[in-house]
Amino acid sequence: MANRYMDGDAAANLLERRWFAAFKAASGVRAECETLLESMALTQAAWGRARARLAELEALRDVLGEELESLDEREAVTPGEESGEVMSAA
C-alpha cells in the first residue's frame, strides 16, 4: 500500500513540474507576443507616416512636372525661332 501512495505522489509531483514548466513557457511566449504587437504598432505608424510623405512628394513631383511641361511649350512657341530666319538691322 505504501508503494502505491508513493507512485501517486511521484506522478502528482511530475504533473506539477510539467504544469509549472508549461506556465513558464506560456509566460515567455506571451511576453514575446506583447513585444511583437508593440513593434507591429510602431511599424504600422511609421508606415502610415511614410505613405503620407510619399503621397505629398508624388503630388509635388506631378505639379512640378506640369510646370516644366508648360515652360517647354512656351519656349517652343517663341516667335522667330521656328522660321530659322535671321533679321538684320540694315
The secondary structure of residue 84, as a DSSP letter, is -
18 pLDDT band, cuts 50/70/90, is very high
Measure the CA–CA gap between 4 and 78, rounded to whole angstroms.
109
Burial class (CB in 10 A: 0-12, 13-18, 19+), 72: exposed
For the cut 50, the answer to whether the pLDDT of residue 1 exceeds it is: no
pLDDT tens-digit series, residues 29-77: 999 999 999 999 999 999 999 999 999 999 999 999 999 999 999 988 8
Check residue 77 and give its pLDDT. Answer: 83
Check residue 86 and give its pLDDT. Answer: 59
Measure the CA–CA gap between 29 and 70, rounded to whole angstroms.
60
For the cut 80, the answer to whether the pLDDT of residue 78 exceeds it is: no
Grid cell for residue 7: 507512485
Measure the CA–CA gap between 85 and 18, rounded to whole angstroms.
98
